[in-house]
Amino acid sequence: MDVSRREFLKKIAGLSAILFGSKTAFELLAPGELEAQYLPKPEALTAKRWAMVIDMGKMDEETRNKCIKVCHRTHNVPDIAKENPRHIVKWIWTEPYENAFPGLEQEHMAERLKDKLFIVLCNQCDNPPCVRVCPTKATWRREDGVVMMDQHRCIGCRFCMAACPFGSRSFNWRDPRPFIKERDPEYPTREKGVVEKCNFCAERLAKGLMPACVEVSNGALIFGDLTDENSKVRKTLREYYTIRRKPYLGTDPQVYYIVDTLL
Amino acid sequence: MFEKALVGSRKYWGLVIVLSSIIGIGFILYMWQLKVGLRITGMSRDVSWGFYIAQFTYLVGIAAGGVMVVLPYYLHDYKAFGRITILGEFLAVAACTMCLLFIIVDLGKPMRLFNVLLHPTPNSILFWDMIVLNVYLLLNIVIGWMVLQCERNGAPPPKWLKVMAYISIPWAPSIHIVTAFLYQGLPGRGYWLTAIMAPRFLSSAFCSGPALVLLLALLIRKYTKFDPGREQIQSLAKIVTYLIIINVLFICFEFFTVFYSQIPEHMHHFKHLFITGSKISPLMWISYIGMAIAAILLVFPAIRRDEGALAVCCAIVIITTWIDKGLGLMIGGFVPNPFGRVFEYWPTLPEALISLGVWATGFLIITILYKIAISVKEEIRA
């Protein structure tokens, strides 16, 4: 077999291009090599599985409003309701029983449930459909169960909003910044065209603080590690009968409601 | 071959100018949408997908027009379709392009589009939809263009082209199945959570796609010297007939399951679509009754043989399946919302005009590609 000088050089050039290319690719794709090492700060609150119990008996009107207000202020959630209620952004809000738990309402119910408003927020599902459908991993589930959102990666396709059975996600239909009354520099504001939702105050947990709503709730919101038998969350779940929103869909919501303490 | 698109009659240039103007209006409005956000649409927190995604879904179906003429030719050696495969392939090119454009105009952050490639996520159906649509588009561009070039040069198509055509045949249903999976795998949406969704997408695609090819073939016969052929049109008519009947049947299956089981979470959506939806309900009735009428009419050979009546039936098929998929699918899926509340949705004028701009882009592509194809065919005949 005769190989001309020209052909030989061509082959060598091609081969080295492939080798060089695959070496670079290997280095780039090798797990953990180029990624920055990330460790939580020593003061951070950590858990194997964060969960929340809402004690409706303690959740009076004043507490409800305090929770909503502090959350929306802490996270620079815009107040768009007056501009256009259809474009509202909300992380935590209230719903009547029949809307929070559709399908569970019945014609004759305990009177005390009638005018009660239930606090609703992202359920931080253990098996989150929003994470399953996101085409860019802009929303993902952390090891400790918090379902996070990267607003710098989100392409605004809103597949997660279609997938969420709890209506927990909001899209920025317009620039939210003009609608933020007092901007908290501790938390980033968002741009138009991305989705956002409650993050269980991941940024506060990292600093060793409880979620903002929990802090102001006077014990109506109980927050803790579901895997720790001695945590207050587990104690409460052992003691009371609790319900979750749409558990039959298999998303495994991690926000529990105590209803029978309602007076 | 492209030079064929640069010379044409006054009618051809008139059509190009009209379509370009509509595209221009749509483009200007899209620039506005880019600047101020998707607030200029009728979409909301509760109905978070609207007209854009619905058009995308409908046009995935139209892209099927391609395979229904390609399949009989390549798999059954049905020679008659040899002269019109190009119409199906070029229609698929236009439809896939519109699909991709509709996804882009719906994105909140279109400049980040390539994040889908940068962070490939196989568990997301949207990732797979991106793959199947782009590959189907590419297959149809290459196959259509090469087949036409070979025909012009009087040379047999190369072997690899046939391999590509064979690949494109099973690939066509994949775009409908994957698009249906976008919806039918979501846990909280009773209207979409049904295994018949993918079969319904297939049946509506394989009747509306060929129906559009048929209408375009009739138009071509009327306005050009190229005759797609009577036998070809009659064969397409039979395909449309079978598939519209299957489509109506699938809808009946859906209704039976929903209303005999009486499960509220599924029934509520249908009740809104057909009874309480102020704008959508009359249209849904028109859509389903129209589909049934078209299915019945098309069964009669005498009606199919009369090309005027056939054209009317095909137009009914196209319009009724459009109402079903291009409007009903989104409103039905999102209303009532996960809290059981009813928030009505209707597209705004800018939203409709941007959509019209995308449609015009597709029709401009069809106009130009069909012009090239027909000029080549006329040249061969001369």
ipTM of this predicted structure? 0.91
Q: Supply the pLDDT for residue B278.
A: 84
Q: pLDDT band for A17, please (50, 70, 90 cuts).
A: confident
Partner-chain residue, chosen from A95, A135, A165, that has the shortest CB–CB distance to B187? A165
Q: Which domain holds residue B89?
A: 1-188+347-382
Residue A81 distance to chain B (closest CA, Å): 12
* Cβ within 8 Å of B, A 125-144: 129, 132-138
Nearest Cα residue to B113 out of B100, B97, B98: B100
One domain, residues B283 and B328: yes
Q: How far apart are CA B189 and CA B333, in angstroms?
A: 6
Question: How open is the CA angle B332-B333-B337, to the nearest 5 degrees?
Answer: 100
> Could you tell me if residue B212 is inside a domain?
no
> Could you tell me if residue B273 is inside a domain?
yes
At residue A205, does pLDDT exceed 70? yes
> Could you tell me if residue B363 is inside a domain?
yes
Instruction: Assess contact for B175 and B133: CB atoms under 8 A.
Output: yes
- What separation in angstroms does the CA of B307 have from each of B233, B238, B290? 9, 13, 19
One domain, residues B44 and B170: yes
Convert the pLDDT of each residue in A116-170 to its tens digit: 899 999 999 999 999 999 999 999 999 999 999 999 999 999 999 999 999 999 9
CB contact under 8 A, B189 and A133: no
Nearest Cα residue to A222 out of A230, A231, A233, A211: A233
Instruction: Assess contact for A49 and A144: CB atoms under 8 A.
Output: yes
The last residue of a domain, from among B302, B319, B337: B337
User: Which one of A91, A172, A173 would you mutate to disrupt binding with B, by most B Cβ within 10 Å of its Cβ?
Assistant: A173
One domain, residues B57 and B175: yes
The last residue of a domain, from among B300, B317, B337: B337
Q: Supply the pLDDT for residue A13.
A: 78
One domain, residues B253 and B329: yes
One domain, residues B24 and B127: yes
Q: Supply the pLDDT for residue A225.
A: 96
Average pLDDT, chain A: 90
**pLDDT (average), residues B88-101:** 95
One domain, residues B100 and B56: yes
Convert the pLDDT of each residue in B293-349 to its tens digit: 999 999 999 999 999 999 999 999 999 999 999 999 999 999 999 999 999 999 999
Nearest Cα residue to B229 out of B216, B215, B218: B218
Q: pLDDT band for A262, please (50, 70, 90 cuts).
A: confident
Q: pLDDT band for A29, please (50, 70, 90 cuts).
A: low
Q: Supply the pLDDT for residue A261.
A: 80
One domain, residues B78 and B177: yes
The pLDDT > 70 percentage for chain A reads: 92
CB contact under 8 A, B48 and A162: yes
One domain, residues B16 and B83: yes
Long-range contacts of B161-167 (CB under 8 A, 24+ apart): B162/B74, B164/B139, B165/B70, B165/B74, B166/B74, B167/B139
One domain, residues B304 and B179: no
Nearest Cα residue to B131 out of A140, A135, A152, A134: A135
Residue A52 β-bridge partners? A223, A255
Q: Supply the pLDDT for residue A23.
A: 66
Tell me which of B273 and B380 has the higher pLDDT: B273
Q: How many domains does chain B have?
A: 2
Convert the pLDDT of each residue in B106-163 to its tens digit: 999 999 999 999 999 999 999 999 999 999 999 999 999 999 999 899 888 899 998 9
At residue A187, does pLDDT exceed 70? yes
> Could you tell me if residue B130 is inside a domain?
yes
One domain, residues B83 and B122: yes
The pLDDT > 90 percentage for chain A reads: 76
**pLDDT (average), residues B38-60:** 96
**Chains A–B, number of C-beta pairs less than 8 Å apart:** 145
Residue B246 distance to chain A (closest CA, Å): 29
One domain, residues B356 and B318: no
One domain, residues B60 and B169: yes
> Could you tell me if residue B227 is inside a domain?
no
Strands (E), A6-141: 50-55, 92-96, 117-121, 139-141
